[in-house]
Chain A
Amino acid sequence: KAGVTQTPRYLIKTRGQQVTLSCSPISGHRSVSWYQQTPGQGLQFLFEYFSETQRNKGNFPGRFSGRQFSNSRSEMNVSTLELGDSALYLCASSLVGRYGYTFGSGTRLTVV
């Protein structure tokens, strides 16, 4: 079956702009989590959605937001981009958390 699909793979944006990233989970997976990966901070949890509701939220400013649709697809939005937002953004889906998460290949965001 298809894995977790993230689009786009690469993105270049200018400071001050906003960006929307998309994630399609594995069919049947209702939980979608987002992570930011940078060389300095490693993998940091952004938020998790389950059945269209935000279940957990990491320690990120309000410029970072997300949502989940009825088909479990998820989007995350970053407004007023800063240079420090340059990172690999990973999406992961799970059927049941204790069995682990399946990750997508990520979206590489560069803010210039």
Chain B
Amino acid sequence: AQTVTQSQPEMSVQEAETVTLSCTYDTSESDYYLFWYKQPPSRQMILVIRQEAYKQQNATENRFSVNFQKAAKSFSLKISDSQLGDAAMYFCASRGSGNTPLVFGKGTRLSVIA
């Protein structure tokens, strides 16, 4: 079974600054996939970034990047040049290579201060 842990229930960042959200996971599978989702007040979960465990290169999507440390089972999200629209709940999630469900962490609520 996979588990995902987000140890920061809340974070805040000044507009235009950089913030890092932490996530650790546990899995017995050798092949798996990791995701960060954003959930704004509108409730819809939006995929921010994904990482395939077999790829050593950290994924990047515009201002969003990850620091994937496979040995440490760590998958942190870095948001650069934070914007007011980045304020939301952020969920880390993992999924095995087979037909296993997507497992989520408890989430981190990010506030952006103008």
Kindly specify which of B12-20, B38-46, B66-74 makes contact with the partner chain.
B38-46
Alpha-carbon distance A99/B52, docked complex (angstroms): 9
Give min CB distance, B75 to chain A, whole Å. Answer: 14
Q: Is the CB of A105 within 8 A of B105?
A: no
Interface SS of A by simple majority: strand
Alpha-carbon distance A43/B99, docked complex (angstroms): 18
Cβ-based interface call for A58 (8 A): yes
Cβ-based interface call for A90 (8 A): yes
The answer to whether A100 and B101 touch (CB under 8 A), given A42-B107, A43-B91, A105-B42, is: no
Give min CB distance, B97 to chain A, whole Å. Answer: 7
Binary interface encoding of chain B residues 24-67 relative to chain A, with 1 for a CB under 8 A from any of its CBs, else 0: 00000000010101000011111100101000000000000000
Number of A-B contacts (CB under 8 A): 52
Cβ-based interface call for A102 (8 A): yes
Cβ-based interface call for B78 (8 A): no
**Size of interface on A: residues with Cβ below 8 Å to B:** 24
Give min CB distance, A107 to chain B, whole Å. Answer: 10
Cβ-based interface call for A81 (8 A): no
Alpha-carbon distance A92/B37, docked complex (angstroms): 12
Give min CB distance, A108 to chain B, whole Å. Answer: 8
Q: List, in ascending order, chain A residues with CB within 8 A of B46's CB.
A: 103
